[in-house]
Amino acid sequence: MARWITALMTAAGLVAALPGAQAQEPVDVALVLAVDVSRSMSPRELTIQREGYAAALNHPDVVRAIAQGAYGRIAITMFEWAGNGSIREVFDWTLVETAADADQVSALVLDSMPLAQRRTSISGAIKHAVKRLDEAPFDGFRKVIDVSGDGPNNHGGPVLSAREEALAQRIVINGLPLMTSDGPGGGFNIGDLDTYYAECVIGGPGSFLVPVKSWDQFPEAIRRKLILEIGSLPDELPAVVPAQALPSSPFLRPSSEPYDCLIGEKIWEQRRWMFDEP
């Protein structure tokens, strides 16, 4: 019996020594930033968006929020998206624990050059974000996908299916609907994008959205959103709409009037002739 116990302990030691058996480093949040770069956004908007993320990621309030977590560190990655499969990684999974770490990721964003691409696939962005979370070398106490976008899904699979896939893995999806009108693709956008995000995109415990109705609001919106995702949702913050909003909220329709989460696909079918795309 003693020989069997010794053999088992030896085997356990060998397994623990294998690189793949190392426990993942725990972090308060594993956060995926999914940033819209569809052609409906103008070069000016893309620049404001890039600079806004860069300024928020190393803002003192964000660094302070990270330090106040149970582990005092988060893991974060960012990619740009447009149509289904149109993905460009901005930076890989990075541990952010100090102001210097935050400066590093901020510089990576500021140095990036967004490339506008066709179509809008929120479903594709969510699916890719789920994949990135599966590949994360960190163990996030919370797993969060942060999706920004200026229009409804019109490419790839239905957004509701992608959302359900993420929620089934206990991933929270938050939204940043960009309700601006400066870009060239306004004909494919909708006036109630905040409602669309509330009904069709965000989900999970504590999920929320931060509508941006003018680009001068963007830097502060990103900063507040990151602080909330790193920390928790306060009781009163008018610019933030929680997923659990009451039916009387202007962002959610009564259950007797279900929102059409295929509105983007239907608009595309009506106007696809403008681009002569099959």
Q: Where are the domains of the chain?
A: 24-274
- Compute the distance between CA of residue 46 and CA of residue 114 in angstroms, rounded to an integer: 7
- Are 65 and 227 in contact by the 8 Å Cβ rule? The answer is yes
Bridge partners, residue 242, by sequence = 208
Architecture of the domain spanning 24-274: 3-Layer(aba) Sandwich (3.40)
- Compute the distance between CA of residue 126 and CA of residue 179 in angstroms, rounded to an integer: 20
Is the overall model pTM greater than 0.85, yes or no? no
List the chain pLDDT tens, one digit each, 278 residues.
444 433 433 334 433 333 443 468 999 999 999 999 887 777 888 888 899 999 999 999 999 999 999 999 999 999 999 888 789 999 999 999 999 999 999 999 999 877 667 778 999 999 999 999 999 999 999 999 999 998 899 888 999 999 999 999 999 999 999 887 665 555 567 889 999 999 999 999 999 999 998 888 888 999 999 999 997 544 434 445 555 443 333 444 555 578 999 998 888 787 665 555 54
The pLDDT, as a whole number, for residue 87 is 92
- Compute the distance between CA of residue 106 and CA of residue 112 in angstroms, rounded to an integer: 10
